[in-house]
Amino acid sequence: DAGVTQSPTHLIKTRGQHVTLRCSPISGHKSVSWYQQVLGQGPQFIFQYYEKEERGRGNFPDRFSARQFPNYSSELNVNALLLGDSALYLCASSLRGPLYNSPLHFGNGTRLTVT
Amino acid sequence: GQQVMQIPQYQHVQEGEDFTTYCNSSTTLSNIQWYKQRPGGHPVFLIQLVKSGEVKKQKRLTFQFGEAKKNSSLHITATQTTDVGTYFCAGPGNAGNMLTFGGGTRLMVKP
């Protein structure tokens, strides 16, 4: 079975632009979460989606938005990019819903560089 | 809000030496998870601890959950170069299935 797949793997954008990152969860997983990992730090929670509904949101500005599609894939959108948005963006899927602390299966991430 | 702290931040060991990383939460946790991230890679789930005082072993790795369920540790016996990476602990946050990750302990092993 394929793991969590993310695209693109790398992206370079300039300040003020917007970006869309994509994620396909493991087959059968209905929960998708997004994390931001700045170099040298632990992943920080951005969003969780389950059954196409937002089930959790971290402490990120409204420039960050996401959605989940009927096939459970997901997109993370970031508008008006800032230099500080440069990071590794990780998507994770899990088998069970928000009421369970299921282990997360991470994708390889999208490395975003904002210049 | 909830904070998860890990020490040390970095650890250099000679191959064959033991290694321990410690994780402390500002709040009581219902469970704690451990992940390993190899250089240039993504976090990979290692284990989940649920019960107070629980100890679990995976070959040379021993994981422990504190009695008060606010701290945890990971001990590696006789490190190997394949153990290189950053080890993160993570506890449930306030929203959904989110996890609050510690800052990680980066392990470097000299052959």
Please give the residue of chain A at the shortest CA–CA distance from B29.
A101
Q: Between B92 and B81, whose confidence is greater?
A: B81
Sign, CA dihedral A87-A93-A98-A100, equals negative
Report which secondary-structure segment, H or E, holds B73.
strand B71-76
- Across the interface, whether the CB atoms of A42 and B104 are under 8 A apart is answered yes
Q: What is the pLDDT of residues B3-37, one digit of tens each?
A: 899 999 999 999 999 999 999 999 999 999 999 99
> Minimal Cα–Cα distance from B30 to chain A, Å?
9
Beta strands in A1-115 (DSSP E): 5-7, 10-13, 19-24, 31-37, 44-50, 53-57, 64-68, 74-78, 87-94, 105-106, 110-114
Sign, CA dihedral A46-B31-B65-B69, equals positive
* pLDDT at residue B64 greater than cutoff 90: yes
Position B110 confidence tier, pLDDT thresholds 50, 70, 90: very high
> What's the confidence (pLDDT) of residue A100?
72
- Across the interface, whether the CB atoms of A45 and B30 are under 8 A apart is answered no
Residues of A in contact with B32 (CB under 8 A): none
Q: Between B97 and A31, whose confidence is greater?
A: A31
What are the two backbone dihedrals, phi and then psi, of residue A67, each rounded to the nearest 5 degrees?
A: -155, 160
Q: What is the mean pLDDT of residues B74-90?
A: 98
pLDDT, tens digit only, all 115 positions of chain A: 579 999 999 999 999 999 999 999 999 999 999 999 999 999 999 999 998 899 989 999 999 999 999 999 999 999 999 999 999 999 999 987 766 778 999 999 999 999 9
Q: Which amino acid is at A80?
A: A
Position B76 confidence tier, pLDDT thresholds 50, 70, 90: very high
Name the residue with tokens 């971290």: A58
Give the pairing type, strands B10-14 and B4-7.
unpaired
- Residue of A4, A23, A35, A45 to mutate when probing chain B, most B C-beta within 10 A: A45
* pLDDT at residue B73 greater than cutoff 80: yes
What's the CA gap between B90 and B4, in Å, rounded?
7
